[in-house]
Amino acid sequence: MLPALALAGIALTAIKLDPRLVVGLLTLSTLIYARRTGISLKLRNVTEEESYLNAYLFSTFLAVLSCFGLSRDVVFASIFLVLVHNFRKNALWDIAIYTTAALFYFLSYHAINGIGIKPAQVFFLSLSGGLTAALVESVDTNADKRLTLLIALSTVFTIFKMYIPSASMPSLTFAFLFSFLVSLLALYAKVADESGLMSATIVGTTLILFTDIRFFAVILLFYALGSVITKYKYSVKLEKGIAEQAGGARGYANVFGNSLAPLFFAIQYGVSGESTFAAAFVTAVAAALADTMASEIGKAEEKVYLITNLDRVEPGTSGGVSFKGELAALVGCIITALLAYTLGIAQSNTLFFIVLSSFAGVHIDSLLGATLEKKGYLTNSAVNFLGTLSAGIICVLLLLQPL
């Protein structure tokens, strides 16, 4: 507890101190702590002492970055929140306490330095940090949680500080409550776990703030229909040992793997207003839904072929394709495109490119699954991310250079 209090104290004094003095203070504290404990650097299965050493080292690194342009409030708020790790309990408590601590730090930083604030922006920044920290706390891993918290918080704070929307407090409140309630319903319906709830809330809140509720409806289609499709011949897939775990309940890895690329394109649309990015968003979501439909329906088929050489493989094999799976993928692409068109997100002259690009993204996903995932270089979530990202990029390129 004492090392955490010391870090929090340094973060608070950093509000007024010269960043170079803070770097020196953190460096000295790190050397003293390492010498007194006599421990070495370790990243997994760490003891409390090893975890604190990692926190001190990375905090020093962040402080150095603050001397070269990284926002000081972002850096030292992340360091300050390490203290809260000692008071963690459950998901909702963690969201509340981390958000409150972040809010306290940002408001103190602005007040002491005489910087004007926009309440909605500060609250949004704090809430994004609270959700991120609670998500990290909910993940069962042997990695160092304090180090992971520092990395995640500093990254999220930096990104949102750069892209933070000029939303009003009512808009922020609506975006968060709507996303949280929908995610909570998914938790109670057992289509998401606790980490899925928090990650979906982060994605939903950000998506609504940068765009509008229509974009949320499109990505909600993926989660709703994807969850229904997961139940397709579930007992058959369970017998074969290839069914989704926990009845198909989505966790943070699945949510981020399928949502980060659409979220990226949505943010670009929100910032630039370019309709091409709106089409790319729809394409990335369509690719995610199409891949889920193809995979879940294909797993129940007998005739499955590897996409790289068309050799017969067992259902559920990464990179496996089937006739019904291909049809399901195409249907998923078309359904998503039509919903986006109905909502006014996609234009009629972009529908063909959206369907074509998303269908291509599904097969890029399969190729990556048959090669890099099979060899252990990529996880399934990473493959999903690259597949959806590729689909969106292809759509942008096609719209910039029409066939």
pLDDT digits (tens, 9 = 90+) for 89-108: 887 788 889 999 999 999 99
Q: List the beta bridge partners of residue 306.
A: 320
Is 80 in contact with 146 (CB distance < 8 Å)? no
Kindly report whether the global pTM for this prediction surpasses the value 0.85. Answer: no
pLDDT in tens, 142-182: 778 888 889 889 988 888 887 777 777 788 888 888 988 88
Give the model's pLDDT for residue 403. 46
* Rounded-to-integer distance, Cα 165 and Cα 172, Å: 10
Quick one: pLDDT band at residue 43, thresholds 50, 70, 90? Answer: low
Q: List the beta bridge partners of residue 312.
A: 305
Token pair belonging to 373: 């995932």
Q: Which residue has the higher pLDDT, 108 or 17?
A: 108
Q: Which residue has the higher pLDDT, 140 or 72?
A: 72
Token pair belonging to 376: 């252990």
pLDDT at 51 over 80: yes
Residues 6+ apart with CB under 8 A from 253: 379, 380, 381
Helix (H, G, I), strand (E, B) or coil at 61: helix
Is 345 in contact with 212 (CB distance < 8 Å)? no
Write the CA distances from 366 to 295, 379, 389, integer angstroms.
Answer: 10, 13, 14
Quick one: pLDDT band at residue 388, thresholds 50, 70, 90? Answer: very high
* Nearest partner of 95 among 205, 186, 253, judged by Cα: 205
Average pLDDT, the chain: 84
∠ Cα 279 281 287 (to 5°): 100
Q: Which residue has the higher pLDDT, 156 or 234?
A: 156
CA dihedral 90, 93, 97, 98 (to 10 degrees): 50
Which of 302-311, 351-360, 392-401 has the least mean pLDDT?
Answer: 302-311
pLDDT at 397 over 90: yes
Give the model's pLDDT for residue 290. 93
Token pair belonging to 53: 């050493």
232 DSSP assignment: T
* Rounded-to-integer distance, Cα 58 and Cα 151, Å: 8
Q: Using alpha carbons only, how large is the chain's radius of gyration in Å?
A: 23
* Rounded-to-integer distance, Cα 77 and Cα 128, Å: 13
- Sheet containing 312-313, strands listed edge to edge, beginning at the edge strand earlier in sequence: 312-313, 304-306, 320-321
Is 149 in contact with 85 (CB distance < 8 Å)? yes
* Rounded-to-integer distance, Cα 198 and Cα 65, Å: 29
Which of 54-58, 196-200, 316-320, 369-373 has the least mean pLDDT?
Answer: 316-320
Of all residues in the chain, the percent with pLDDT exceeding 90 is 27
Residue type, 219: I
* Rounded-to-integer distance, Cα 315 and Cα 304, Å: 6
